[in-house]
Amino acid sequence: MNQSQIAQIVKEMSQKVTDGTELTRDDVKRMAEAARRSGKIEHRALYSAVRSLLPVPAEGDEKITEDEIKEAAEKARKSGRIEDRVSYVAIKTKLQEQEESANK
C-alpha cells in the first residue's frame, strides 16, 4: 500500500464518516491497514471513528465465513502473536457452533 492509496482510503473514510454513510467491515479493515501503514495519529483516530460507526449485528446474527477464517489463520501464522492465535481459535469455534446450530 503506497501513500496515494493511503490518502485515497483516508479521503473515502473521512467522507463516509462526515456524510453518515453506512460503513462495512471491509471499510474498517481498509482503514485499519491504512492507519497501521501510515503511522499517523490522525489516521488512527479516523480508524477509531470508522470502527465505532460500524453497525453491530444482534447477538447470534453474525455469520462467519470461510474467508474470515482463512484471513485469521494467515494473520496468526504470520504474526505469531498470541492475540492473533486466540482470535483465530475463537472465530473457528464460532463457525463450528454456527454449523452445528444450522444442522439442528
pLDDT digit string, tens, across residues 45-75: 998 888 888 776 555 556 778 888 888 899 8
The amino acid at 104: K
Please, which pLDDT band fits residue 103 given cuts at 50, 70 and 90?
Answer: confident
Q: Phi and psi of 60, rounded to 5°? A: 90, -15
Q: 61 or 32, which is more confident?
A: 32
The model carries a pTM of: 0.54
Identify the pLDDT of residue 61.
56
Q: How many residues make up the chain in this entry?
A: 104
Cell 472465530 identifies what position? 91
* pLDDT confidence band for 97 (50 / 70 / 90): confident
- Res 84 pLDDT > 90: no
Q: Report the alpha-carbon distance of residue 38 to residue 82 in Å, rounded.
A: 24
